[in-house]
Amino acid sequence: MMTTQQSNPIEKESHFLTKVRFTKLVESTVKEHKISYMEAIIHVCEKIVDLEVEDVNKYISPVIKEKVEAEAQRLNFLPRSNELPIE
């Protein structure tokens, strides 16, 4: 008797990396390991999804980008933006 396995499309979709999935992985890594967002992105790339850090840009959501920028400013990696935009 031949059985055909039907794969659940939701399960199949979960194996593909998307911005939403990457964001969830980064957020959970930050909370779980109590590390910075920059470290979490590197951790997710190296240990979880096997992705080169150089290729991660397309998976960074605006929320994660803002958090990384804030961390970088606190660490003086980026200049602080103290000015209010006046139009």
- Give 8-60 pLDDT, tens digit per residue: 333 334 568 899 999 999 999 999 999 999 999 999 999 999 899 999 999 99
CA distance 7 to 36: 37
Give, as one character, the DSSP assignment of residue 6: P
Q: Is residue 26 part of a domain?
A: yes
pTM: 0.73
Residue 37 in domain: yes
Give residue 2's pLDDT: 52
DSSP state of 5: P
How much is the pLDDT for 63? Answer: 95
Helical segments of the chain, H only = 9-14, 19-33, 37-43, 62-74
Domain membership of residue 85 (yes or no) is no
Domain span at residue 45 reads 16-74
For 56-83, the pLDDT digits (tens) are 999 999 999 999 999 999 999 888 876 5
Within a domain: 8: no
